[in-house]
Amino acid sequence: MQLNQIIRPDVLAMTAYKVVECPEDCLKLDAMESPYEYSDEMRAELAKQLAHTPIHLYPTPKAQGLPQMLRERVGIVEQADIVLGAGSDELIRLLTMLTGQPGSTMLTLEPSFVMYRVNAEFFGMKYVGVPLNEDFSLNLTAVLEAITTHQPQLIFIAYPNNPTGVPFAKTDVEQIIAAAPGLVVIDEAYGAFSSHTFLPEAGLSEKLVVLRTLSKIGFAGLRVGYAVGHPQVMHELRKVTPPYNMNQLSLTAAKFALQYPQFIDEHINKQKSERERMRTMLKTWSQVQVFPSEANFITMRVPDAQALWQAMLDHNILIKNLHGVHPLLEQCVRITVSKPEQNQLVLGVMQQLYGTQS
Ligand code: PMP
């Protein structure tokens, strides 16, 4: 069989989403996972609940009551509907599938989460990426102009943005939603670490869909994300959702997780205060340009991103080198905020490189 005669040429030309394997005992700070694990007591309790999960059955539409629990946790309006996904990644794909066909257009900001563009390509959509300003703030004029010119069916805005972490003014995003002719997906993967959210507005207009995930708040391994939106749009989204897309074990573990909100909130708050502590320290080094962050990571520009990436790896720490990902990310790296002692290791490596010369 000639693969190049069978498989789509655009797929053959693509590179797969790269997940870097961490060397053994490595401190993995490239993927915005939470560093906090359950205690032995909580593990034992979870194990009991997993043992009683009916894995011989498909999950039911009520998904063990998880949507209802999420509704209570994040506070959304009565009429809003929730669709679960295997990570918000799946929902990004499904929302693209909902609107994507040759001739339709996706608009996003650049740099942002790369999977928006990849999905646009999968579904033959025209892709319009509007560059952010150099300080990674949103260029509202450019976005509004692009909306007028391209009339996109689908807009993705990561709020806060990845890989920059920089928050956008809510009023700017509101203007984008008002001007949009189609769906606007506000991807709040990092929403828990920010003081701004569109969740209270989700469900009020057909245009707005808010995406959230459990991945960044402690449960990346569960692969549970959710879309909140207007019932009619969520009704259409269900049509493109594979049957039984969630698995029973993840649903059980996610429900368990939400029964302990204090575990989640305590660690979110710790990461938020560590983020500010790290940013304060980083700002004292003149060679480091640290950007504002409302997420669980910090993006910064350094004299030589590859050298910093290598220095970290030499200390068994894996960070993300963003240099080359997008022209605006020249010499930038992104580092997940971790536990205080681990953050100290990161700062220690940087101190060696930049501390003495300021
Ligand atoms: N949206 C954004 C902005 C992200 O950065 C990520 C993951 N890095 C995702 C969505 C996907 O998250 P998940 O599938 O784990 O929910």
Burial 100-139 (b: 16+ CB within 10 A, else e): beeebbbbbbbbbbbbbbbbbbbbebebbbbebeeebbbb
Q: Is there a single domain that holds both residue 231 and residue 294?
A: no
260, 278, 294 — which closes off a domain? 260
Average pLDDT, the chain: 96
Q: Is there a single domain that holds both residue 244 and residue 285?
A: no
Per DSSP, the residues of 129-164 read EEEPPTTS---HHHHHHHHHHH--SEEEEESS-TTT
Q: Does any ligand 1 atom lie closer than 6 A to the CB of residue 163?
A: no
Question: What confidence score (pLDDT) does residue 357 get?
Answer: 52
User: What average pLDDT score do residues 286-313 get?
Assistant: 97
* 330 in a structural domain: yes
User: What average pLDDT score do residues 263-278 get?
Assistant: 98
* 172 in a structural domain: yes
* 48 in a structural domain: no
For the record, the structure tokens of 210 come out as 């808010």
Q: Give the CATH number for residue 316.
A: 3.90.1150.10
Question: What confidence score (pLDDT) does residue 59 get?
Answer: 96
User: What average pLDDT score do residues 176-187 get?
Assistant: 98
In ligand 1, which atom is closest to the CA atom of 223? Answer: 15
* 46 in a structural domain: no
* 45 in a structural domain: no
Question: What confidence score (pLDDT) does residue 291 get?
Answer: 98
231, 260, 289 — which closes off a domain? 260
Cα of 189 to ligand 1 centre, how many Å?
6
Give yes or no for a contact between 91 and 212, defined as CB atoms under 8 angstroms apart: no
Q: What percent of the chain has pLDDT over 70?
A: 99
pLDDT tens-digit series, residues 183-204: 999 999 999 999 999 999 999 9
User: What average pLDDT score do residues 268-277 get?
Assistant: 98
pLDDT tens-digit series, residues 221-253: 999 999 999 999 999 999 999 999 999 999 999
pLDDT tens-digit series, residues 80-124: 999 999 999 999 999 999 999 999 999 999 999 999 999 999 999
Q: Is there a single domain that holds both residue 153 and residue 241?
A: yes
Q: Is there a single domain that holds both residue 256 and residue 273?
A: no
Q: Does any ligand 1 atom lie closer than 6 A to the CB of residue 88?
A: yes
Q: Does residue 358 have a pLDDT over 50?
A: no
Structural domain span for residue 28: 3-39+262-355
> Whole-model pTM?
0.96
pLDDT tens-digit series, residues 124-174: 999 999 999 999 999 999 999 999 999 999 999 999 999 999 989 999 999
Q: Does any ligand 1 atom lie closer than 6 A to the CB of residue 87?
A: yes
Q: Give the CATH number for residue 169.
A: 3.40.640.10
Q: Is there a single domain that holds both residue 251 and residue 267?
A: no
Question: What confidence score (pLDDT) does residue 141 get?
Answer: 98
Q: Does any ligand 1 atom lie closer than 6 A to the CB of residue 94?
A: no
pLDDT tens-digit series, residues 55-88: 999 999 899 999 999 999 888 999 999 999 999 9
205, 228, 260 — which closes off a domain? 260
Q: Is there a single domain that holds both residue 161 and residue 194?
A: yes
Cα of 211 to ligand 1 centre, how many Å?
9
* 77 in a structural domain: yes
Q: Is there a single domain that holds both residue 131 and residue 141?
A: yes
Question: What confidence score (pLDDT) does residue 24 get?
Answer: 81
Q: Is there a single domain that holds both residue 169 and residue 246?
A: yes
Which amino acid belongs to residue 277?
A: R
**Domain total for the chain?**
2
Q: Is there a single domain that holds both residue 197 and residue 143?
A: yes
In this structure, the number of other CB atoms found within 10 A of the CB of residue 258 comes to 18
Q: Is there a single domain that holds both residue 125 and residue 15?
A: no
Q: Is there a single domain that holds both residue 33 and residue 91?
A: no
Q: Is there a single domain that holds both residue 58 and residue 13?
A: no
- Please report which confidence band the pLDDT of residue 27 belongs to, taking 50, 70 and 90 as the band edges: very high
